[in-house]
Amino acid sequence: MIDILETPFFLNEHFESIQGEGNYAGANSLFLRFHFCNLTCSWCDSKFTWFGNERNYVEYSSNQIKAIITSHQAPHIVLTGGEPTLYRLDKLVVANKKFHVESNGTFIPTEPLEIAVRENLTIRRDAMNEAIISQFNWVISPKLSNARQKLNDRSLRFWAQTSYSIFKFVVRNTDDINEVETIVNKFSISSFKVYLALEGQTLESQLKPSLVDEIVKRGYNYSPRLHVMLWGMQRGK
């Protein structure tokens, strides 16, 4: 068994683009995409971070990742994946940058974590420092039944109570919106923190005005997927 203690950080890719989704859509950003995930969503658009046995990632120390961040002018740093909360994200902070995390919300970052991500690979990390990560913009994306994954009630209760997170759900139809409404009511999530994005990998999939009308009617925010509209599924965008 290989034990990963704090470092290295397994990075699949990094690139500059615009933030395509959520409450900072359009922001000039540097993306750091971490490898490995604890979920296997049916419609995942970044399966290359967890599917198969190819070693398509690079090992970095926290200082090496900080050097990548400081070498770019982008003011926004998006930590994505895969699942970035497998790693000590609080160790990557540099001055004068705004950090964002895109997470599936199944882990509580202020608690230690130990998880086998592959048969011979276990990742362990200590709890993150909440004084640091509370300065991040956390975009929590619980998976609906259309992803064929299970919700983690305990983690969702944690995220619902924080002041530094929003929720982003990926929907295909009004049935999915109904499911979102059930989750929002169950965990007492404020509607102003809820953003709904349309599932799909083409421009056509994002142009559904009647579904957006329904999102607005229910009192939720609509999240565009600007990167899909502009570049489809092109990597590095």
- Residue 224 pLDDT > 90, yes or no? yes
Sequence letter at residue 152: N
Domain at 2-172, CATH homologous superfamily: Aldolase class I (3.20.20.70)
> Residue range 188-205: average pLDDT?
95
pLDDT at 157 over 50: yes
Question: pTM for the whole thing?
Answer: 0.94
Report the 10 Å Cβ neighbour count for 72: 15
pLDDT digits (tens, 9 = 90+) for 120-136: 889 999 999 999 999 99
Domain ranges across the chain? 2-172
Cis, bond preceding 8 (omega within 30 deg of 0): yes
- CA-CA distance, 41 to 148, in Å (whole number)? 6
Q: Which residue has the tokens 């048969």?
A: 119
How confident is the model at residue 136, as a pLDDT? Answer: 98
59 pLDDT band, cuts 50/70/90, is very high
- Judged against a pLDDT cut of 50, whether residue 5 lies above it is answered with no
Mean pLDDT computed over 149-170 = 94
